[in-house]
Structure 1
Amino acid sequence: MSAIERISTGLPGLDKVVGQLRLGDNVVWQVTDINDYRYFTRAFATRALSENRRVVYLRFGLHPAVVEPLPGVKVYELDPNNGFEAFSTEVHTIASREREGVFYVFDSLSDLLSAWATDLMIGNFFKVTCPYLFEQNTIAYFAVLRNSNSYHTIARIRETTQLLLDVYKHKGQFYVHPLKVWNRYSPTMFLPHVSSGEEFVPVTSSVDIARLFSQLKHYKLSDAVRRLDYWDRILIRAQELMDRLEQGDQSAVPAEREIIDLLCKIMIGRDERILSLAKSYFTLQDLLEIRNRLIGSGFIGGKTVGMLLARSILKADRDTCWEQYLEHHDSFYIGSDVYYTFLVENGCWKLRLEQKKKENFFTAAKELQQRIMDGAFPAPIREQFEQVLDYFGQSPIIIRSSSLLEDAFGNAFAGKYKSEFCVNQGSPQERYCAFEKAVKRVFASTMGEDALTYRLQRGLAGSDEQMALLVQRVSGSSHSKYFFPDLAGVAMSHNAYVWREDLDPDAGMMRLVAGLGTRAVNRVEDDYPRLVALDRPTLRPAAGFEDIRKFSQHKVDVLDTDLNENDTVVLDDMLGLKADFPGWNLLAVRDHETTRKIKKLGIKKPDAWVLTFEKLMTATDFPQIIRRMLKKLEAAYNYPVDIEFTANFSADAGLKVNLLQCRPLQTVGKPRKKEASLDYSPDNVLLANNGSFMGGNILQALTGIVYIQGEEYSRMSVSERYEIARLVGQINRFFCNDEHESVMLIGPGRWGTSTPSLGVPVSFAEISNAAVLVEVASQKHGYMPELSYGTHFFQDLVETRIFYIAMFPDQAEMVFNHQLFDQFDNALPKIFPAYSKWRNAVKIIRPAESGKKLWLNAGLRPRRLTSFFTAI
């Protein structure tokens, strides 16, 4: 058995006290003054350099440096303001790069409070860093400032470290009191030791120890403040200031702005534009109310900030009394620190760091998802969860993702993370289990393939992305066994889908459904929400009642309180509920023709209805309310906005809107003022349409086409269609390796459908590198595109700058001349020989190999909208 290598602290007397240091030791010094820590780090570094050891100084504190710039000392400058994850990852990366046997000196951990605001995260950092340094056979020095951190944090540090040494200076002498020395013991080790020349002499007399500690007065076991996290101390200070202001204490006024800025910094986020808005519209009372409904600590996340900020903007509006239109909310917020603490406490952090490596980015994510689902919450968090559920009783609730980066300027993360409904029925224990499982599902969605792909594409793979949560009461009411809102939808202050020349893009648009809003934000299968141009709310893309009936909402998403689960109900099954539905006649019209046919056939069914929302548009001021709301929010943001809402009718209060979400609307920019010309032969036009596209004006050369042939695809089994979808994903990854590639995807029906009979069931990650996406209709095979403006799918297209075209070849003025593909060789067998059997169904066209060029030219023309793609 090899002998243990003994390492000197640089102070021979101290070596005797602790039995010297050993490789793997993490040494934490609790000091009153940073200069006291410097005394020990200088001795440590000097001795290590004299023995030709490698010394690394990790510099991040606000205090003066604790290691002198000696030859041989390697200094890393770190910025904790980038967040816990980025900071911890950087330290881990440095330790991996420097490898074994390095001697580390860290700045004071207490200084991390200025960046992270919570002791909790300091404890988390130490718990994930200390074990890794131990495995690397290093020795690391850390410091904490006495009375700066909570007892709980010091306890977590003590539990994790190998040595914890309490240091104080009195009358020019250092006293070192070892509180923990792992795997070493002597009869006097855990007594205070006083410096005497080069020695540290134990103070053994009870008289001397009592006199010494009474003079130092550094132990205050009854000090309630020390038992609080730094975060809580800030909030107590804010509440005390609020109390003074309410009592009319004018001397408190100058401090109000300072405390608002501080609270915004620790609760709202780091995005400067959002922070500026928060500081302008949130009052001190607003911020304290957020804290009163916050579980844990940390940021409340983008989705929560957007919802609360929008409500504050409207509350400050002097032109409209929004209280008469808006529902109140009583949401709770799960702070972002809960997410990281959950990962740390459940042993997930090491795997999280491994997952961030390029080679493990997707593969390790699956294991991490499972570990999250198997994890357990600390008892204090469980208690707060139970209190929230007690508050809501058996009202249905929804747990919504609200990550740090979500709903920010430039990054919507639309649909990338989960939102989970809890119908919230059953015993308290059953309701709690469902709630906790829902929270973990949202946490696990941070490791979903679409979310990870999105972060890679947006250059956010290394960013601090903590998951906070928004817990909301589901807006709506009970109708027999179903619970749902009367209306739900999304609305945008800018309308990128103007299907007629006389529509104003700046008036905005709305995507409206009856029931839960899931059918408004997702691409629904074989169903059609109502699209509303807010300057012409009665105008519809569909013409004639037959088209209106066909392209309308036929199913309603609800919560089934009997079965305690989500459900989708066909409209016919909802007709028996219309009697207790105050606004039914505003949403639906009788379908007399269908009713006559039903009766003629002798079928006993209620009269048929169609959800047109026609009277809602004509007999109420609802569209004007939404338009006014959007304009007010857009003006405050100085940017187009995108909102989610529900609305409910009541006999006494009329129609009330529940504003659920507000975020900057991701746009592709303004169309070019001057169009470039393009000469082409009509015989070479591959496809052309009149208005069914999104993406602004464009003139772009394309390097390739991937074409899924509809007739061949229709003959495939379900499993074969999924195989085609995975092939598309491989093609997508193949083209992403060359930044000069610009590829058009053409396929039958809806890309990204979950129903293979309606299109190609790809995930967005499998089509994310396309430049143009084309959906081709076919009445014969049941393929029907949907211009899903306002959905998460649409946000994906916009943020990745994918131009979208819906093709209806049977309609006048539309051309789809797919015979032109016969001019080109199919590159599929060459690029993917394993998939050669699909050469008739999947074509990869590389025009340059045939000496030809491909162009997409589209935009708003005088008197008509048009887009066409041509081969020259």
Structure 2
Amino acid sequence: MTDAEKIPTGLPRLDTVLDGLRLGDNVVWSVDHIEDYQRFVTPFAESALAEKRTVIYMRFGSHPPLLTAQEGLTIHELDPRQGFETFAARIHAIITEAGHGAFYIFDSLSDLLSAWATDQMVGNFFWVTCPYLFELDTVAYFALIRDRHSLKTIARIRDTTQVLLDVLTADGKIHIHPLKVWQRHSPTMFLPHLMKDDDVIPLANSHEATSLLSRFSPSNPDTARRHLDHWYRLFLQAEKLVADDDAEDERREMIRHLCRHLMGRDERMLKLATKYFSLEDLLTIKSRMIGTGFIGGKTVGMLLARDILLNDPDFDWAAHLEPHDSFFVGSNVYYSYIVHNGMWPLYMRQKTSEGYFEAAAKLRGKMLEGQFPDDIRDGFRQMLEYFGQYPIIVRSSSLLEDGFGNAFAGKYDSFFCVNQGSPEQRLTQFEDNVRRIFASAMSEDALTYRRQRGLEKLDEQMALLVQRVSGGYRENWYFPELAGVGVSYNTFVWDKGMDPRAGMLRLVLGLGTRAVDRVEGDYPRLVALDAPSKRPHHGVEDARRFTQRDVDVLDISRNAPETVSLLRLANSESRLPLDLFAIRDDEVTRRMEERGRKGEKAWLLTFDGLLSKTPFCETMQRLLKTLEKAYDYPVDTEFTVNFTEDGTPRINVVQCRPLQTRGERQRVDIPEQVDEERLLFRSKGNFMGGNINLELSQIIWVEPEAYSRLSLSDKHEVARLIGRLNRRIGERENEPTLLMGPGRWGTSTPSLGVPITFSEINNMAALSEVAFSAEGLMPELSFGSHFFQDLVEADIFYLALFPESPRVMFNRAWLERQPNNLEGLMPASSRFRNVVKVCRLKQGGFRLLADVVSQRLICTLPE
């Protein structure tokens, strides 16, 4: 760019006032009406087209078009209602494609408020778009309608733009008042100017200037509103409607309007929200928000569940539910954090096919190091002052999370803040956890999940749900007495007499982490709500093996989460109602006494007393069925339970979402008598995924003994090898594969199974965990866990094989006789040929069959 290269506005006298425009100028017009902006758009466009410039019109406003189709003009129709990210990314792509030197006319930025509700995002859009246009030596026109935006937003735009012009209309006369003209100056440039015919005349005397500008000075009674974001003005209007008894129709319309700005874009969830939330509910949500935007799927589900239950006329849920006082960090904080820390160009690169994973890794690192805007930090401080030193949990609540069809179970992080220390220490811990949750949106697992489900092009804003941890202080520990997962439809029935529609619980003592995650060496109690006394396993030894041994708590003295053994907790002064939760393990107690540990008592967590002596099961089943009826769909909940002094359970529903489940599907007829020589395996129960009749073309088998002998690093390398084989499968319909291996797939402890990530098995058709008790490699029947949700959403059938059980037959010898295709597929990994076997199966005969009703499962071999 040179000083001589001046760009005409199309109005020669205005060019004289401004000393012309320059390449790189973003020109913002502050006007009273869109017609005032039109006066300047038309001559600018005509002049640019006459000079054969590339002229692009960004059409997105609700006002009449500023330009119509003509030679040399490109018009892009855009819909800001698709969300800030989609809108800003599309414009970024258009600008990138047009390259250097293009000229742009944008519709009024004020029209974006109806789509985004908040000035903050209008400011963010301008802040990321203006510098990019400047970088490419463009000239761009924008408009703002006066008094639609907060003074903070106007100041932000003024700081970012190169040229800001105030258009003042009084007594039928139009005046132009330049407020900012970057790197240009003249004695009269910043005076108001009267437009008269083709002339632009400065108001050189004080009388004319005072008479004009005093009309537009912010001294009217509504001045305070100009300091407010559009978002806050909207809720002020809602407050007035609440007080107006004659405005029922307006209240209903406001509920619909606010739900679309608070709850997201899932039409089924919006329908539920507008049905159950009152205007008072929405104002309460707003009063506990930090920032603006959507509250996210997890928050919507939690709040909806509470409102559905509390509005149930047939049961007094208020007497059974624990109250909540959660806070909500709006989704726009996520975008503002990215923009504020200069990450938007990298964020745009991540949206491209080539940058989807590569740029995400860099972005994830930068997200862990950014700073929050001062107003957001102030909100964080005030929230932490409210909670004091009670422990809190910071949970992801993204826009796409917990909706119909997309659970995102465990894909994004959540963190406990034990919340001890000085206010600044607590703020530092909280902000670090927020950064980590924001960064988790760029994790490989989350991105793979989104791509697999066709969501990678959609806006995925990260809101946050901040909840007081449900529980109480016991010695130096803080934790709830019970926590768990509840599902209203139980596809993992393990007895043919059970009804899947009765629902199921996955129950633990302490924090709910052990209910939602597969934890090494521990097993939650699975409760079929129509048969709570029936266990998936039988006998005392199975009860000892498949039980919870450790309890997750928050250690107040260490200011950190901690895992405490049940033995330690049971023999402390914690005053837990163990008679309700556990039974004495006299045999283990006797062994401890023989070893000199007298006075300590061993317990087995069975929850038998809770399930048989209290109405807990009936209450939980009623809760699940009430929610299922309202959703008109099976539901998946997370909950905690604490008991009052008189023994009454108080339930806290901390999460509720539509249950991702396949149900029974079609009826599968399994032959009653099948020659064992024609079976790879046969089992009774211990599978998840409904009925199945699947022809297999490949089996990948991890040999237990060989795997157990590997070093730690080689066990991790085997997991990566499985991932590479998984990627080779491509379309699973063309090559349906059964993956079989010892212990738990996806464990973080390689001694207990193969430590794959979900993105390394997502193309498998079926997954089998095989018990290998000699090395402690045991499956975990994880129905209701995040791992299970991943399998269901990816349509992966799960089965657990216990070869030592009399109800199981496993023809391992046949598997070991088959040729291994690993070296041909992965020559570089041939050293693992004794550990990983890839069996290509002959066409026909290999079928995996399962029937939920009879609980039978077989895998047939070809004749």
TM-score, normalised to structure 2, is 0.97
Moved more, 551-560 or 215-224: 215-224
Please give the per-residue CA displacement for 1:180-222, whole angstroms capped at 9, x wherever unaligned: 1111111111111221232212111111111222455677597
Cα distance in 2 for partners of 1:676, 1:656 equals: 45
Query: Which residue is equivalent to 1:521?
Result: 516
Question: Does residue 566 of the first structure (1) align with residue 561 of the second (2)?
Answer: yes
Post-superposition shift, 1:860? Answer: 2.9
Question: Does residue 856 of the first structure (1) align with residue 844 of the second (2)?
Answer: no
Q: What is the root-mean-square deviation of aligned Cα atoms in Å?
A: 1.9
Post-superposition shift, 1:605? Answer: 4.5
* TM alignment of 1:250-399, pairs within 5 A: 250-399=245-394
Which letter maps to 1:865? R
Post-superposition shift, 1:740? Answer: 2.4
Which letter maps to 1:857? L
Query: Which residue is equivalent to 1:247?
Result: none
1:692 to 1:761, Cα distance in 2 relative to 1, 3 A: same
Query: Which residue is equivalent to 1:236?
Result: 236
Q: Percent identity?
A: 52
Whether the aligned pair in 1 keeps the contact of 2:668 and 2:693 (CA below 8 Å) is: no
Cα distance in 2 for partners of 1:462, 1:445 equals: 18
Post-superposition shift, 1:252? Answer: 2.7
Query: Which residue is equivalent to 1:134?
Result: 134
Cα distance in 2 for partners of 1:612, 1:586 equals: 9
Cα distance in 1 for partners of 2:153, 2:274 equals: 30
Moved more, 259-268 or 322-331: 259-268
Whether the aligned pair in 2 keeps the contact of 1:707 and 1:842 (CA below 8 Å) is: yes
Q: Matched residue of 2:153: which SS?
A: helix
Query: Which residue is equivalent to 1:118?
Result: 118
Post-superposition shift, 1:868? Answer: 2.3
Post-superposition shift, 1:821? Answer: 3.7
Whether the aligned pair in 1 keeps the contact of 2:680 and 2:811 (CA below 8 Å) is: yes
Q: Matched residue of 1:510: which SS?
A: strand
Q: Matched residue of 1:462: which SS?
A: coil
1:185 to 1:285, Cα distance in 2 relative to 1, 3 A: same
Please give the per-residue CA displacement for 1:622-671, whole angstroms capped at 9, x wherever unaligned: 11110000000000000000110000112146211111111100112442
Cα distance in 1 for partners of 2:298, 2:266 equals: 13
Question: Does residue 64 of the first structure (1) align with residue 64 of the second (2)?
Answer: yes
Which letter maps to 1:184? R
Which letter maps to 1:806? A
Please give the per-residue CA displacement for 1:491-518, whole angstroms capped at 9, x wherever unaligned: 0000010111100000000000000000
Question: Does residue 411 of the first structure (1) align with residue 402 of the second (2)?
Answer: no
Which letter maps to 2:785? T
Query: Which residue is equivalent to 1:468?
Result: 463
Question: Does residue 800 of the first structure (1) align with residue 830 of the second (2)?
Answer: no
Q: How many residues align?
A: 863
Query: Which residue is equivalent to 1:761?
Result: 755
Cα distance in 1 for partners of 2:828, 2:287 equals: 59
* TM alignment of 1:747-758, pairs within 5 A: 747-758=741-752
Query: Which residue is equivalent to 1:687?
Result: 681
Query: Which residue is equivalent to 1:424?
Result: 419
Cα distance in 1 for partners of 2:710, 2:574 equals: 45
Question: Does residue 791 of the first structure (1) align with residue 785 of the second (2)?
Answer: yes
Which letter maps to 1:64? P
Whether the aligned pair in 2 keeps the contact of 1:725 and 1:760 (CA below 8 Å) is: yes
Please give the per-residue CA displacement for 1:235-294, whole angstroms capped at 9, x wherever unaligned: 1111122233xxxxx323332112211221111111111111111111111111111111
Whether the aligned pair in 2 keeps the contact of 1:57 and 1:74 (CA below 8 Å) is: yes
Which letter maps to 2:625? K
Post-superposition shift, 1:742? Answer: 1.9
Cα distance in 2 for partners of 1:871, 1:679 equals: 16
Which letter maps to 2:699? I
Whether the aligned pair in 2 keeps the contact of 1:680 and 1:870 (CA below 8 Å) is: no
Post-superposition shift, 1:586? Answer: 0.4
Query: Which residue is equivalent to 1:720?
Result: 714
Moved more, 699-708 or 129-138: 699-708
Whether the aligned pair in 1 keeps the contact of 2:475 and 2:573 (CA below 8 Å) is: no
Query: Which residue is equivalent to 1:865?
Result: 856
1:140 to 1:681, Cα distance in 2 relative to 1, 3 A: farther
Cα distance in 2 for partners of 1:353, 1:176 equals: 36
Query: Which residue is equivalent to 1:709?
Result: 703
Whether the aligned pair in 1 keeps the contact of 2:746 and 2:757 (CA below 8 Å) is: yes
Cα distance in 2 for partners of 1:827, 1:168 equals: 78
Post-superposition shift, 1:116? Answer: 0.4
Moved more, 193-202 or 74-83: 193-202
Cα distance in 2 for partners of 1:843, 1:462 equals: 37
Cα distance in 1 for partners of 2:307, 2:492 equals: 30
Query: Which residue is equivalent to 2:200?
Result: 200
Please give the per-residue CA displacement for 1:673-708, whole angstroms capped at 9, x wherever unaligned: 465989986423222211111111111222322211
Cα distance in 2 for partners of 1:97, 1:198 equals: 37
Question: Does residue 451 of the first structure (1) align with residue 462 of the second (2)?
Answer: no
1:227 to 1:456, Cα distance in 2 relative to 1, 3 A: same
Cα distance in 2 for partners of 1:794, 1:687 equals: 22
Whether the aligned pair in 1 keeps the contact of 2:477 and 2:553 (CA below 8 Å) is: yes
Cα distance in 1 for partners of 2:846, 2:203 equals: 87
Which letter maps to 1:275? L
Moved more, 159-168 or 650-659: 650-659
Cα distance in 1 for partners of 2:328, 2:561 equals: 23
Q: Matched residue of 1:350: which SS?
A: helix
Query: Which residue is equivalent to 2:159?
Result: 159
Whether the aligned pair in 2 keeps the contact of 1:4 and 1:22 (CA below 8 Å) is: no
Which letter maps to 1:791? S
1:516 to 1:399, Cα distance in 2 relative to 1, 3 A: same
Cα distance in 1 for partners of 2:546, 2:820 equals: 36
Post-superposition shift, 1:599? Answer: 2.4
Query: Which residue is equivalent to 2:189?
Result: 189
Query: Which residue is equivalent to 1:620?
Result: 614
Whether the aligned pair in 1 keeps the contact of 2:474 and 2:574 (CA below 8 Å) is: no
Query: Which residue is equivalent to 1:637?
Result: 631
Please give the per-residue CA displacement for 1:89-140, whole angstroms capped at 9, x wherever unaligned: 1111111112222111111110011110000000001111111111122111
Q: Matched residue of 2:29: which SS?
A: strand
Specify every segment of 5 or more residues in structure 1 that has no aligned partner in the other structure, as ranges: 245-249
* TM alignment of 1:204-223, pairs within 5 A: 204-215=204-215, 223=223
Query: Which residue is equivalent to 2:485?
Result: 490
Moved more, 661-670 or 642-651: 661-670
Post-superposition shift, 1:160? Answer: 0.8
Query: Which residue is equivalent to 2:834?
Result: 840
Cα distance in 1 for partners of 2:643, 2:200 equals: 78
Post-superposition shift, 1:737? Answer: 6.3
Cα distance in 1 for partners of 2:115, 2:574 equals: 57
* TM alignment of 1:500-579, pairs within 5 A: 500-577=495-572
Whether the aligned pair in 1 keeps the contact of 2:664 and 2:852 (CA below 8 Å) is: no
1:55 to 1:572, Cα distance in 2 relative to 1, 3 A: same
1:118 to 1:577, Cα distance in 2 relative to 1, 3 A: same
Whether the aligned pair in 1 keeps the contact of 2:845 and 2:860 (CA below 8 Å) is: no
Whether the aligned pair in 2 keeps the contact of 1:578 and 1:584 (CA below 8 Å) is: no
Post-superposition shift, 1:576? Answer: 2.4
Which letter maps to 2:331? S
Whether the aligned pair in 2 keeps the contact of 1:102 and 1:139 (CA below 8 Å) is: yes
Cα distance in 1 for partners of 2:365, 2:536 equals: 45
Moved more, 668-677 or 730-739: 668-677
Cα distance in 2 for partners of 1:676, 1:649 equals: 47
Query: Which residue is equivalent to 1:180?
Result: 180
Q: Matched residue of 1:556: which SS?
A: strand
Specify every segment of 5 or more residues in structure 2 that has no aligned partner in the other structure, as ranges: none
Cα distance in 2 for partners of 1:493, 1:185 equals: 71
Post-superposition shift, 1:179? Answer: 1.0
Which letter maps to 1:608? A
Whether the aligned pair in 2 keeps the contact of 1:402 and 1:468 (CA below 8 Å) is: yes
Which letter maps to 2:530? D
